[in-house]
Amino acid sequence: MPKPFKVVQIANDDHPLPDWVEPRFAAANVECSYHQCHNREDLQSCVDGADILWLMGGRKGLVIEENMDLFPNIGAVQRVGSGTDNIDHNACTKRGILVVHTPEDMTEVTSDHVIAMLFSAVRRIAWHDRNISSGIWAQQDPMSVCKLRGAELGLIGLGRIGKAVVEKLSGFQMKVRVYDPYADPEMIKSLGCEPVGLDELLQKSQLVALVCALTEETLGLIGPDQLNMMREDAVLVNCARGPIVDEQALYETLKNKRIAGAALDVFSETPMPEGHLFRSLENVNFTPHAAGVPLPFPDALYVNQIQSIVDLAEGRMPRWIANRGVKPKWNLQSQ
């Protein structure tokens, strides 16, 4: 019998695989084991002979240049969802290791969540909910930030999620500005949006939503200077990645009511520490990095991931590769 194709799954918590996964793996001669890895020593104890490293979360410091000597057989690192900022792309690309992800898993639910967070912040839903739960009936204080129909929306990023947000909000007749230096301006215009620079977007848009990837270019993209550009009646929504925004600067901005509010699904630390400064603010809404959780859960989380693993085990290129231009160490057939 040929040697099993070995997959090492790394997650923060145990992720039991759905019942239908085992027969799929058995048919493809895939052997999968689960581990909680936090550092190099943990990796050393579990990756010997592994073909794929399968990351279920955003744990950092594992797939980095310093650990590449532990991965002599690994031909692919797979990350659930779209974000691969916790993987060293250059280190993988140099060694022919594919960085595989499943970006379409999150498009529908994340775009829904962006809109829900936006609406909640505009209508002060969380503020009113907290007040009523505390016995306070403040019907008209504070009022809604703005009317949604005809509002001015700025999108930072126009990938799959950004496009879905534009499509779903089309009935609100918003004026949508887009900052995305990698998007074709004509494509942006074809969606009824206006391509602009970041400064113009921040200065003119009342509603600002971050729907971009975390990269070297977007790390700290929204800092003190950018927050100071925003309108006093502005709302900032971040369902992308926490480190895109300078949290200390955002805290000061919200504390001093330099902008109307924020709605945050992502943070620099997850889970948010108990004494985090944001917890003391009334003009911010939170969700626990839940925007990208697909429905029905958990089955929907696995469909594309399992298919990618089976494709690799059977010698086929997976559908989505994040490190484009990589020359795979394995001989894989195109689909």
pLDDT at 131: 85
Residue 241 is among the residues annotated as catalytic for this protein: yes
pLDDT (average), residues 309-335: 93
Is the model's pLDDT at 212 over the cut of 90? yes
Closest CA to 78 of 308, 329, 331: 308
Is the N-terminal amide bond of 296 cis, ω within 30° of 0?
Answer: yes
The rounded mean pLDDT for the chain is 92
Q: Which residues touch 335 (CB under 8 Å, ≥6 apart)?
A: 311, 316, 317, 319
- CATH 3.40.50.720 assigned to domain 107-286? The reply is yes
Question: What is the spatial distance between Cα 24 and Cα 49, in angstroms, rounded to a whole number?
Answer: 21
Tell me the residue length of the chain. 335
Catalytic residue among 79, 113, 177, 289: 289
Whether residue 144 has pLDDT greater than 90: no
pLDDT tens digits for range 29-48: 999 999 988 899 999 999 99
Is the pLDDT assigned to residue 141 strictly greater than 70? no
Looking at per-residue pLDDT, the higher value among 207 and 85 belongs to 207
Say how far residue 333 (Cα) sits from the centre of its chain.
Answer: 29
Set 41, 216, 232, 269: catalytic member: 269
Q: Are strands 175-179 and 261-264 parallel, antiparallel or unpaired?
A: unpaired
- In this prediction, residue 1 carries a pLDDT of 57
Q: pLDDT tens digits for 91-122?
A: 999 999 999 999 888 899 999 999 999 999 99
Question: What is residue 52's predicted lDDT score, i.e. its pLDDT?
Answer: 97
pLDDT at 138: 79
How far apart are alpha carbons 212 and 69 in whole angstroms? 32
pLDDT of residue 245: 98
Q: What is the pTM of this model?
A: 0.84
Catalytic (active site) residue 101: no
Average confidence (pLDDT) over 59-65: 91
Is the pLDDT at 162 greater than 90? The verdict is yes
Q: State both tokens at 226.
A: 């950018």
Contact of 165 with 115, CB cutoff 8 Å: yes
Q: Residue 35 contacts by C-beta under 8 Å, 6 or more apart in sequence?
A: 8, 9, 10, 42, 45, 46
Q: Where in the chain is the domain with CATH 3.40.50.720?
A: 5-103+295-313, 107-286
Lowest mean pLDDT among 31-45, 270-284, 289-303: 289-303
CATH number of 5-103+295-313: 3.40.50.720
State the Cα–Cα distance between residues 139 and 127, nearest whole angstrom: 11
- Whether residue 324 lies in the annotated active site: no
Q: What are phi and psi of 85, to 5 degrees?
A: -70, -15
pLDDT digits (tens, 9 = 90+) for 68-77: 999 999 999 9
Is the pLDDT at 12 greater than 80? The verdict is no
Among 215, 217, 261, 214, residue whose Cα is nearest residue 242:
214
Cα 330 from Cα 197, distance rounded (Å): 42
Using only the alpha carbons of the chain, give its radius of gyration.
22
Q: Is 73 helix (H, G, I), strand (E, B) or coil?
A: coil
Count of CB atoms situated within 10 Å of the CB of 223: 14
Q: How many Cα atoms occupy the beta-carbon half-sphere of 45 within 13 Å?
A: 10
pLDDT band, very low/low/confident/very high, at 198 (cuts 50, 70, 90): very high
Catalytic residue among 101, 113, 124, 241: 241
Residue from 333, 309, 327 nearest 77 by CA: 309
The amino acid at residue 129 is: D
Q: How far apart are CA 229 and CA 34, in angstroms?
A: 47
Sheet holding 194-195, edge to edge: 194-195, 175-179, 152-156, 207-210, 235-238, 261-264, 284-286
Rounded Cα gap, residues 112 and 292, in angstroms: 9
Please list, in sequence order, all residues whose beta carbon lies within 8 angstroms of the beta carbon of residue 3, skipping any fewer than 6 positions away: none
Residue tagged 């992308």 (tokens): 240
